[in-house]
Homo-oligomer: A and B are copies of this chain.
Amino acid sequence: MRAVRLHDYHKPPVVEDVPEPTLSGPLDVIVKIGGAGVCRTDLHIIEGQWAEAMGPELPYTIGHENAGWVEEVGAGVTNVAPGDTVILHPQPSCGLCRACRAGKDMQCSNAFFPGLSNNDGGMAEYLRTSARACVKLNPETKPSDVAALADAGITAYHAVRKAVPLLYPGTTAVVQGAGGLGHIGIQCLAALTATRIVVVDRNPDALALAKQIGADETVQADGNQVEAVKELTGGEGANVVFDFVAEGGAENDAWQMTGPDGSQFMIGYGGEVKIPTLDFIAAEKNIIGNIVGTYNDLAELMVLAQAGKVTLHTKTYPLDSAVEALDDLDNGRVRGRAILVP
């Protein structure tokens, strides 16, 4: 089959022929890929930024945002069957450790991350994953329409879902960063809460789109965004600030935008917070970490997606054009999400 393989860091991956994956364990599932999202993380993988943390042996197949159809299942698989349309949780979990038993898939002691850790990913015709990664979709759902929700989507949904109890009517939520994740976050907030949604971004086009998909207010990040948010919140700051940027100083802006008894939900990364401990105490404020999401988060997000409540603009490329897609992403030529279709 064809697959997008990384042979050397700092060089473009190669689209080449490799053997199809085969079942190796009782919970294994072989999925025929219908769509594989191209993500900024793929660029970071190529640049070697994940080499040390994940340690994959090169060459290997990248691609961690995958959806398709079940091709073959292991002896212990009961939740999906060949022919089922599925989207794949990016990090299959073991189902046996204490974290898994509490539904906390991301804290699984034995998880792996195909396309990122030492396991082939989904920029290929077929992928081997686990039954515990498979969320069954309506047969009519097109995998290429939803693939990008497998990682970007679940991450935004997870953070919003955790914040729901804090966002009753009369509260204000700030979404800092209206890019791919942020746009999904805005739609999730509009679907799950009646909070006022304030979106902060540098890009006027992103703000215009934000307005169409649920933002009540938009603030251009022109250096006065902290003041602007304070003004919109009676001088206090917001109840929750979803920080999809979290670098370049935005992480400290987000803290300033967070009001008393409020929480900064960290989703992006790259920067560093510097906060006097008195600031946490004086106004009883919190910082909440967020990473991807649970299996059930993805399943719930698929309910929203299949009901048309969360949508994503996509641009499809044939699998053999993977390098072009990566290049377009790297050069800002993709609006929404690039999807490889084998």
List residues of chain A with CB under 8 Å of any chain B CB.
25-27, 74-79, 94-107, 110, 131-132, 161, 164-165, 168-170, 191-194, 243, 246-247, 251, 260-261, 266-291, 294-296, 299-301, 303-304, 307, 309
Contacts and interface: CB of A to CB of B under 8 A. Distances in A.
Nearest to A309: B194
A32 B125 CA distance: 46
B277 A271 contact: yes
B273 A273 contact: yes
Contacts of A78: 94, 96, 110
24 contacts: A25-B26, A26-B75, A26-B76, A78-B94, A78-B96, A79-B97, A96-B131, A96-B132, A99-B261, A101-B105, A169-B301, A170-B299, A192-B194, A194-B303, A267-B281, A268-B281, A269-B282, A270-B278, A273-B273, A273-B274, A280-B287, A280-B290, A284-B290, A286-B287
A94 B96 CA distance: 11
B75 A25 contact: yes
Contact of A303 (B94, B170, B191, B284): B170
Given A26-B75, A101-B294, A295-B101, A161 B165 contact: no
A289 B280 contact: yes
Contacts of A103: 101-103
A300 B104 CA distance: 17
A54 B274 CA distance: 25
Contact of A260 (B107, B164, B268): B107
Given A99-B261, A169-B303, A299-B98, A246 B286 contact: no
Nearest to A243: B277
